[in-house]
Amino acid sequence: MILDRFEYLRPSNVDEVVTAITTEDEVAIISGGTWVVQQMGQHLRRPKVVVDLSAAGLSGVSTNQDTISIGPSTTYTQLLEAGDTPPFLRKVASGITGGIQIRNAGTIGGSACFAYPPSDAPGALVTLNATMVLRSGDGQRKVAATDFFLDALTTALRPGEFLEEILVPIADTERIFSYQKFRNVTGSTPIVTAGCIASEDGLAKRVVIGGAATTPVVVDLAGDESEDEIADLTRSLISHPWSDALANANYRRHTAGTMATRAVRAVREQIEGEER
Amino acid sequence: MTTHEGVGINVTVNGESRDAIIDVRETLVDFIRVDLGLTGTHVGCRTGDCGACTVTVDGEVVKSCLALGVSADKAEIRTIEGFAESSEHLSIIQTAFWEEFGFQCGYCLPGMLFCTEELLKKNPDPSEAEIREAIDGNLCRCTGYHGIIRAVRRAAEETSQAQREKDELRDEEVWARPGERVDRALRGRESES
């Protein structure tokens, strides 16, 4: 039982969501509830209004011309089952911590909005060059995933605004990729994640590190760096390190360098394999 | 729907329709245990780590400590009490856990059993790695998991065996129909020639 009282709203479409979240009171938006409900149970979050998006028709994956549209309430299981899910995101969804139960309830948009640094979603969406479509009573605005994650547990979402859609450019989804994740055991939260999708000219030029810093870190490369250079560069870019009971900042920074090289190596090996 | 507390909901639990007045602050596991009195669904961590509170909601295996009870309005819920088809006999999966010492205290069973069922539905012949992956959202503090892995393997084999027997029975029924018998006989002759 959650101690603090709140009003529960379950809107059935986007307009009702806007109405529900337009209030002076503190609002918590839930979809699968896997983060927020346990936080409320521990009194870490005490909203006056809880808005449940599960019936608002915000799940599903579809392709429109040059973008893939992902509903924020799409669960990881739905991502795995949908035909239009980018292969990179499918790989990410298959390894979500917490087992079948969490993949069935947790949602990609929920994890993005919660912005917990070691979660897979923030780094994955930055790797995919996703655009976050935010909606409020004033209309829509689009924010690049790189600008969406402002700090640990903090996003660009303003009061009265919610994540309506995630857009992924289709061109990025069909190339060679690698997703490397380091964690203590299969069931534990990631320590560091590294995502790399080959560039248009077929090189590993961009690695995105999750878990090492408070927000995803983009490592831009020329494409011909040695592995030591990639590791050093990655470690030097972790300016706001994340630290928790599972791993401290130094450990995460060091691991980030290692995981970045693994991601690049995996992409390079696949590219070489194709050229042969 | 809007309310502070005391909202009327209707759920189907283990096949039975239940009306309830629920406080919106109740998590689904509290609703199931306290309001419905189905205490086979356990509470271990309330953080989604242990899996002891696992149920299915509209066919999806989920952890009920992470959901609000009110969100389950109009849903079909299956708890561990409804796992076997009848209260007289254990299911194939339950029997396999019993035979292979897949549990001691039984606290983790809701998660282990529902995840096994989900796994076997999608993959009737899982490898050890696939079994470990399927149960990775559940913690067991008694068995060291070895008995559980064996139990899931055994459940897989016995489910396949039961399916084969069912298929053979159906074949016999088909065989019994005169028209089909002629078809079969003709097909048999074609393949011989």
Assess whether B128 and B155 both reside in one domain.
yes
The ipTM value here is 0.94
Question: What percentage of chain B carries pLDDT values higher than 70?
Answer: 87
Residues of B in contact with A33 (CB under 8 A): 66-68, 71
Q: What is the CA radius of gyration of chain A?
A: 19
Q: State residue B189's pLDDT score.
A: 52
pLDDT band at B1 (very low <50, low <70, confident <90, very high): very low
Assess whether B75 and B117 both reside in one domain.
no
CB B2 within 8 A of CB B14: no
| Domain end marker among B82, B106, B128 | B82
Assess whether B71 and B108 both reside in one domain.
no
Q: State the average pLDDT for chain A.
A: 96
The number of distinct structural domains making up chain B is 2
Assess whether B78 and B94 both reside in one domain.
no
Burial class of residue A173, CB neighbours in 10 A (0-12, 13-18, 19+)? buried
pLDDT at B137 > cutoff 80: yes
Assess whether B67 and B2 both reside in one domain.
yes
Assess whether B71 and B119 both reside in one domain.
no
**Topology of the domain covering A175-275:** Enolase-like; domain 1 (3.30.390)
Interval A78-101: pLDDT, tens: 999 999 999 999 999 999 999 999
How many angstroms separate the CA atoms of B98 and B93, rounded?
A: 9
Domain of B169, CATH number, reads 1.10.150.120
- Which of B24, B62, B115 comes nearest A105 by C-beta? B62
Assess whether B114 and B154 both reside in one domain.
yes
Q: E strands within chain A? A: 7-9, 27-30, 49-52, 61-64, 67-70, 131-136, 139-144, 149-151, 154-155, 161-169, 177-182, 192-197, 206-210, 217-220
Interval A129-146: pLDDT, tens: 999 999 999 999 999 999
Assess whether B124 and B142 both reside in one domain.
yes
How far B157 CA lies from chain A's nearest CA (Å)?
A: 22
pLDDT at A240 > cutoff 80: yes
Assess whether B93 and B62 both reside in one domain.
no
* Three-state DSSP state, B56: strand
How many angstroms separate the CA atoms of A221 and A268, rounded?
A: 13
- Which of B1, B60, B115 comes nearest A99 by C-beta? B115
| Domain end marker among B37, B58, B82 | B82
**Topology of the domain covering A7-55:** 3.30.43
In the structure encoding, which two tokens stand for residue A220, read together? 């831009």
A61-172: CATH architecture = 2-Layer Sandwich (3.30)
Interval B51-95: pLDDT, tens: 999 999 999 999 999 999 999 999 999 999 999 988 889 999 999
Q: Give chain B's count of helices (H) and strands (E).
A: 6, 6
B79 Cβ neighbours under 8 A, 6+ residues apart:
B13, B14, B32, B38, B40, B41, B55, B110
For A34, which DSSP code?
T
Domain map of chain A by residue range? 7-55, 61-172, 175-275
Residues of A in contact with B119 (CB under 8 A): 100
| First-to-last C-alpha distance (Å) of chain A | 60
How many angstroms separate the CA atoms of A145 and A124, rounded?
A: 10
How many angstroms separate the CA atoms of B69 and B77, rounded?
A: 11
Interval B156-170: pLDDT, tens: 999 999 999 988 887
Assess whether B45 and B128 both reside in one domain.
no
B19 Cβ neighbours under 8 A, 6+ residues apart:
B8, B9, B10
According to DSSP, the β-strands at B60-63 and B54-57 are antiparallel
CB A84 within 8 A of CB A63: yes
Interval A4-37: pLDDT, tens: 999 999 999 999 999 999 999 999 999 999 999 9
How many angstroms separate the CA atoms of A155 and A17, rounded?
A: 19
Assess whether B123 and B72 both reside in one domain.
no
| Domain end marker among B82, B106, B132 | B82
CA B133 to chain centre: 17
Q: State residue A173's pLDDT score.
A: 72
Identify the domain containing residue B66 by its residue range: 1-82
Among chain A residues, the shortest Cα distance to B119 is held by: A100
Assess whether B174 and B113 both reside in one domain.
yes
Q: How many A/B residue pairs have CB atoms within 8 Å? A: 110
Distances (CA, A) of B128 to A6, B132, B136, B152, B157: 45, 6, 12, 9, 13
- Which of B23, B70, B118 comes nearest A100 by C-beta? B118
For residues A238-264, average pLDDT: 97
Burial class of residue A274, CB neighbours in 10 A (0-12, 13-18, 19+)? exposed
